[in-house]
Amino acid sequence: MAYFRNSRSAQFFIFASRIAFAITVFFIPFRWRVLLLPRPIFPLYADYTDFLLFASDISMLAMFVFWAFSIALDLRKLKTGPVLILLFLTGLTLAGWVSVLGSEDPLLSQYHAIHFTALLLFFLYIVNEIESAVWVLVPAGLQILFQSFIAIAQSISQTSLGLQKMGELVLDPDRSGVSVVLGDGFRFLRGYGLSDHPNILGGCLAFGLVLMLAVILYGKRREPILASIIFLVSFLALALTFSRSAWISFFVAGSFMVGVEALSHRWDSVKRAAILGALSLLVAAPFIQNNLSVFSSRVNSGDVSKDEPMKERAYLMGAGNFIFVEHSAIGVGLGASPLAMEKHFPDFPLDYQPPHYALLASAMETGVLGGAFYFLLLFMPLLMFIKNWKDYSSQPLIMGASALLLAVTVVGLFDYYTWLYSAGRMWQWLAWGLWSSAISSQRMA
């Protein structure tokens, strides 16, 4: 009788942990946070040095508590997922802790190392407890739909919506520091949603759109219709973030899924994708036409020498490479790359920030070993897919997870938030967890 009660209690806590997981996924883009410890270091951006606890972190902590209670009440062997992925993730986490020893800011690196440890547990939770894709797809769909409505409204009104209590920034296109796109004599406000930056929102929307596209291609009954509604709204919001890295990310991942369907002669899925593409262009066309000069200025003409953001990225990569060579053993410390930039380059012509290349940022902060682990985590799953594509291409879960991982990897080629920021990290570790869970399920089938 006692065992029966414990088992029922364990099931309750498992369910509670899954609800907390779903809430965590929904909260990923939110910039709402608790300031644990202000640590201003002029002229660095405060979020680089302050200790912050985001909404997604709080719900993730609740998830861990519920999961721990469920295990205590019903002891069971935990799954690891693919051994190499767990090994590389553990190695990356340890490299983060080792980087504390040579960090430009040891306390800050310890704070980030704790977050990396929590993300490793987050990965293990996904592998062990998220047995149905519904627990990811529903909150991810709600996440991008909610953020999309806000981003679209911000773009139309060209101002913030008064949602500061929910974490919205005060947005004015004429205000310094607000991200805009220059049109013909005017500044056009990019869509922020409730995120920290349009690039971060763009990435979250692109990743969510990849999952919605997977439902549209592989779903049954009414699932593709519901996913299509979310997709069309979120596609417009993605366009209005003007995030080129997010645009490219979604295009690459979407082309990957549709291309595999075409190679496998699953023409029904290809037809769905073609109809969806036509509808997406139809929805976005009026906004593009009304703001053609803005969209034209954002699309690179091909002359990088005249593209200021691209020139800034090139400069940051050069500076990051220099620092990496100087500190290649154990890095400048997890999360401490902006501070390292400030110490090495006192007359920096840009705002101090990590290089806009996640792999370089990882090697710069955790040394050559941490960078190697990160590289393997990004590219080994893709190589495994190429090797086993005939088997994997017929598995919807593997296809969706592989496309998501590809999308996150592509963003990391152009930006650093998948390495440094909480929202980017959550999507990155979520992608690794979903891919590992899908591979484990396929092997057990």
Q: What percent of the chain has pLDDT over 90?
A: 82
- Give the pLDDT confidence of 25-81 residue by residue, as tens digits: 999 999 999 999 999 998 999 999 999 999 999 999 999 999 999 999 988 888 999
Indicate the pLDDT class of residue 183, thresholds 50, 70 and 90: confident
Residues 344 and 283 in one domain: no
Residues 101 and 172 in one domain: no
Query: Which of 12-16, 177-181, 270-274, 438-442 shows the lowest mean pLDDT across its residues?
Result: 438-442
Phi, psi of 180 (to 5 degrees): -135, 170
CA distances in angstroms from 275 to 26, 60, 212, listed in the order given: 28, 38, 15
Residue 33: closest CA among 424, 429, 423? 423
**Is the pLDDT reported for residue 18 higher than 50?**
yes
**Is the pLDDT reported for residue 387 higher than 80?**
yes
pLDDT at 307: 64
pLDDT at 96: 98
Residues 168 and 260 in one domain: yes
CA distances in angstroms from 325 to 14, 275, 315, 367, 435, listed in the order given: 46, 50, 16, 9, 33
Q: Give the pair of three-digit tokens for residue 161.
A: 């919506």
Indicate the pLDDT class of residue 243, thresholds 50, 70 and 90: very high
- Give the pLDDT confidence of 244-286 residue by residue, as tens digits: 999 999 999 999 999 999 999 999 999 999 999 999 999 999 9
- Among 299, 319, 348, identify where a domain stops: 299
Residues 88 and 73 in one domain: no
Residues 97 and 25 in one domain: no
CA dist., res. 343 & res. 10, Å (int):
51
- Give the pLDDT confidence of 407-435 residue by residue, as tens digits: 999 999 999 999 999 999 999 999 999 99
pLDDT at 2: 46
CA dist., res. 404 & res. 417, Å (int):
16
As separate numbers, helices (DSSP H) first and strands (DSSP E) second, the chain gives 18, 4
Indicate the pLDDT class of residue 24, thresholds 50, 70 and 90: very high
Are the beta carbons of 66 and 12 closer than 8 angstroms? no
Residues 112 and 188 in one domain: no
Are the beta carbons of 441 and 397 closer than 8 angstroms? yes
**Is the pLDDT reported for residue 302 higher than 50?**
no
Residues 280 and 323 in one domain: no
- Give the pLDDT confidence of 187-229 residue by residue, as tens digits: 999 999 999 999 999 999 999 999 999 999 998 888 999 999 9
Beta strands in 183-327 (DSSP E): 187-189
Residues 105 and 141 in one domain: no
pLDDT at 40: 93
3-state helix, strand, coil in the chain (%, to 5): 70, 5, 25
Name the pTM for this structure: 0.95
Are the beta carbons of 428 and 417 closer than 8 angstroms? no
**Is the pLDDT reported for residue 361 higher than 70?**
yes
pLDDT at 4: 47
pLDDT at 109: 98
- Among 9, 42, 77, identify where a domain stops: 77
Residues 311 and 207 in one domain: no
Q: Residue for token digits 């800034």?
A: 312
- Give the pLDDT confidence of 117-172 residue by residue, as tens digits: 999 999 999 999 998 999 999 999 999 999 999 999 999 999 999 999 999 999 99
Q: What percent of the chain has pLDDT over 70?
A: 96
Alpha helices in 74-105 (DSSP H): 83-99
Residues 207 and 318 in one domain: no
CA dist., res. 95 & res. 370, Å (int):
5
Residue 26: closest CA among 193, 186, 159, 190? 193
Residues 265 and 347 in one domain: no
- Among 273, 299, 325, identify where a domain stops: 299
Range of the domain at 146: 132-299
Please compute the mean of the pLDDT values over residues 371-397 and round it to a whole number: 93
Mean pLDDT of the chain: 93
Residues 96 and 201 in one domain: no
Indicate the number of domains in the chain: 3
